[in-house]
């Protein structure tokens, strides 16, 4: 049975509280790092607000993780390497209606994350989180159906079905569907190993 947004919001609440506690951050400290108000973070952590994709991206940046990892369980040794379609968490952005599905096995430690996105006709999702990303991210977007315009920094790329764009996430990024039908694409991302030699599984991404 697929998850609902209420289920995902409850999972997000627990995940955000745990990540903030692991990093020893107060609500005020995370609010300053993420550029999100303390009251909004508190509402999200209590499961009383349905945050937009832009808000979640800022929170992920403040916590030093990917947006995708906010919807997943923390890595654990007994996690299955197999992700069945019926078990994959889905979430719909309340602002734009775009649907996100986490494809990667939940909790399985891997440097690669995959997500499937359905972007409605005419929708635009922008990630304008200020400042430098805590971890350098390499990302590829592969369009399976329809077409999108992907803006990375000052460049805009028109992508049709079958096209794949590779990029480094080093600034604002926006996804727009200029067509009259929904677009479907897969996002794959991996993070560079941070300084100090510890393996990275705290990443950050756009959708």
The DSSP-derived string for 127-144 is E---S--SS-EEEEEEEE
| Of 144 and 79, more confident | 144
Listed range (17-21, 33-37, 169-173) with the worst mean pLDDT: 169-173
How much is the pLDDT for 11?
A: 87
Which of helix, strand or coil describes residue 164?
strand
Percentage, residues of the chain above pLDDT 90: 56
pTM for this model (two decimals): 0.82
Buried b (16+ CB within 10 A) or exposed e, 167-195: bebeeebbbbbeeeebbbbbbbbbbeeee
Listed range (7-11, 120-124, 134-138, 151-155) with the worst mean pLDDT: 134-138
Q: Which two tokens stand for residue 191?
A: 């993070």
Place of tokens 């019926």: 86
- Average pLDDT on 35-49 reads 94
How much is the pLDDT for 4?
A: 59
Farthest CA pair distance, the chain: 48
Which domains does the chain show, CATH number per domain? 5-70 (1.10.260.40), 85-191 (2.60.120.10)
DSSP-H helix ranges across the chain: 5-22, 27-34, 38-45, 53-63, 67-70
Asked if residues 205 and 58 have their Cβ atoms less than 8 Å apart, the reply is: no
């Amino acid at each position: 049975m697929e998850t609902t947004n209420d289920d995902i919001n409850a999972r997000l609440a627990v995940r955000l509280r745990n990540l903030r506690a692991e990093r020893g951050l107060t609500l005020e400290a995370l609010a300053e790092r993420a550029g999100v108000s303390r009251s909004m973070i508190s509402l999200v952590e209590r499961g009383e607000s349905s945050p937009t994709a832009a808000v979640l991206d800022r929170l992920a940046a403040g916590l030093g993780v990917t947006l995708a990892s906010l919807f997943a369980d923390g890595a654990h040794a007994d996690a299955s390497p197999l992700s069945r379609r019926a078990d994959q968490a889905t979430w719909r952005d309340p602002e734009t209606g775009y649907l996100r599905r986490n494809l990667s096995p939940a909790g399985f430690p891997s440097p690669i994350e995959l997500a499937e996105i359905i972007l409605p006709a005419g929708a635009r999702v922008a990630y304008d989180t200020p400042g430098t990303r805590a971890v350098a991210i390499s990302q590829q977007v592969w369009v399976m159906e329809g077409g999108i315009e992907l803006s990375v920094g000052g460049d805009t790329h028109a992508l049709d079905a079958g096209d794949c764009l590779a990029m480094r996430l080093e600034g604002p990024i926006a996804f727009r569907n200029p067509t009259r039908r929904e677009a479907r694409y897969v996002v794959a991302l991996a993070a560079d190993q941070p300084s100090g030699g510890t393996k990275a599984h705290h990443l950050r991404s756009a959708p």
